């Protein structure tokens, strides 16, 4: 069933009000009719079944029938920090990581980031990324839309890392520690504290510099290998994310 995210203030008093592009989509693309049922979520974990009561292409009002269990969200929160890749690859990262189950996506700038960073155009790009996340979350039947942060500097990212229970960075030249071993340890009883939030840091096309590797380690971010094959920057985050969720028992068993 079609699912729509709306701001929490539009899901009150037993009514859901859908406006803007989503109303247009419902009326014109889905050709919805009065009486049709839809799933509406406030993007923060509250999801309901609702029946369309009024509609035109600018506004759809639906009556809440019943709350639905919000059970599509993983218990382990994975944050993906991705050094800004070239072209529109960040869009792919956001779309796919949202489907797989990321909770927060943090683009960042590192020494070998090749894309130009142009602050006046950033706000528009950020809005676009957030729209992609919302649509991917709807399509994936999630109950929450992941947070998409404005690009951070490397320093800001190192600081943000301390908010996660565990922080790992994918480093293709690491030949001791593997992601698999590290995750088995983190999710075992041997870990010092229960791990609810895991940050995975992925480098740019050109990889991390030696200096960044040292700084990350000094900030408590653990380097891990994901095997002998070198993944493209935009692939590495999705793979790391899927591995964390698998090890946490969140990929269907
Ligand atoms: N320039 C490097 C590859 C960079 S790959 C080279 O050609 O050697 C881009 C990013 O993906 C890396 O910074 C790293 O974070 C991640 N990555 C790719 N393959 C990986 C692997 N096998 N193990 C761990 N991280 C990997």
The CA 187 to ligand 1 mean position distance, Å, reads 24
The CA 229 to ligand 1 mean position distance, Å, reads 9
Measure CA of the first residue to CA of the last residue in the chain; give whole Å. 24
Predicted confidence at residue 192, as pLDDT, reads 74
Q: What is the pTM of this model?
A: 0.93
Ligand 1 atom at minimal distance to the Cα of residue 235: 11
Using alpha carbons, select from 248, 221, 192 the residue that is nearest to residue 77. 248
- Probe ligand 1: pick from 86, 203, 237, max atoms within 8 Å of CB? 203
- Probe ligand 1: pick from 182, 207, 235, max atoms within 8 Å of CB? 207
Ligand 1 atom at minimal distance to the Cα of residue 206: 1
- The residue whose C-alpha atom lies closest to atom 11 belonging to ligand 1 is 233
Backbone angles phi, psi at 25, to 5 degrees: -60, -45
Neighbours of 16 (CB within 10 A): 25
The CA 70 to ligand 1 mean position distance, Å, reads 35
The CA 36 to ligand 1 mean position distance, Å, reads 48
Predicted confidence at residue 132, as pLDDT, reads 98
Predicted confidence at residue 191, as pLDDT, reads 67
Full pLDDT tens readout for the chain, 253 residues: 888 999 999 999 999 999 999 999 999 999 999 999 999 999 888 999 999 999 999 999 999 999 999 889 999 999 999 999 988 999 999 999 999 999 999 999 999 887 777 777 889 999 999 999 999 999 999 999 999 999 999 999 999 999 999 999 999 999 999 999 999 999 987 767 789 999 999 999 999 999 999 999 999 999 999 999 999 999 999 999 999 999 999 998 7
The pLDDT tens digits of the residues spanning 107-134 come to 999 998 877 777 778 899 999 999 999 9
- The residue whose C-alpha atom lies closest to atom 20 belonging to ligand 1 is 172
Distance separating alpha carbons of residues 156 and 231, to the nearest angstrom: 25
The pLDDT tens digits of the residues spanning 152-183 come to 999 999 999 999 999 999 999 999 999 999 99
**Ligand 1: residues within 6 Å at CB?**
170-172, 202-203, 205-208, 225-227, 229-231, 233, 236
**119-139 and 89-100 helices, crossing angle to 10°:** 30
Neighbours of 75 (CB within 10 A): 9
The CA 24 to ligand 1 mean position distance, Å, reads 42
Longest Cα–Cα distance in the chain: 61
Distance separating alpha carbons of residues 174 and 152, to the nearest angstrom: 25
Predicted confidence at residue 118, as pLDDT, reads 77
């Amino acid at each position: 069933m079609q699912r729509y995210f709306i701001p929490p203030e539009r899901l009150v008093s037993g009514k859901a009000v859908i406006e803007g592009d989503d109303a247009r989509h419902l009326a014109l693309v889905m050709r919805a009719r009065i009486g049709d049922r839809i799933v509406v979520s406030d993007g923060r974990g509250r999801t309901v079944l609702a029946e369309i009561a009024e509609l035109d292409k600018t506004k759809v009002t639906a009556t809440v029938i019943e709350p639905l269990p919000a059970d599509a969200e993983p218990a382990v929160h994975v944050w993906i920090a991705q050094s800004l890749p070239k072209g529109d690859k960040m869009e792919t990262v956001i779309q796919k990581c949202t489907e797989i189950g990321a909770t927060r996506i943090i683009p960042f700038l590192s020494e070998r980031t090749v894309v130009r960073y142009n602050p006046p155009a950033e706000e528009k790009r950020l809005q676009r990324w957030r729209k992609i996340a919302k649509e991917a979350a709807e399509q994936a039947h999630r109950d929450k839309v992941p947070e998409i942060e404005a690009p951070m500097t490397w320093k800001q990212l190192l600081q943000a890392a301390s908010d996660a229970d565990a922080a790992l960075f994918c480093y293709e030249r690491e030949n001791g520690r593997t992601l698999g071993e590290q995750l088995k340890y983190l999710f075992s009883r041997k870990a010092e504290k229960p791990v609810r939030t895991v940050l995975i840091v992925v480098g740019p096309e050109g990889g991390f510099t030696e200096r960044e590797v040292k700084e990350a380690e000094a900030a408590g971010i653990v380097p891990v290998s994901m095997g002998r094959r070198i993944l493209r920057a935009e692939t590495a985050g999705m793979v790391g994310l899927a591995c964390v969720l698998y090890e946490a028992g969140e990929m269907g068993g």
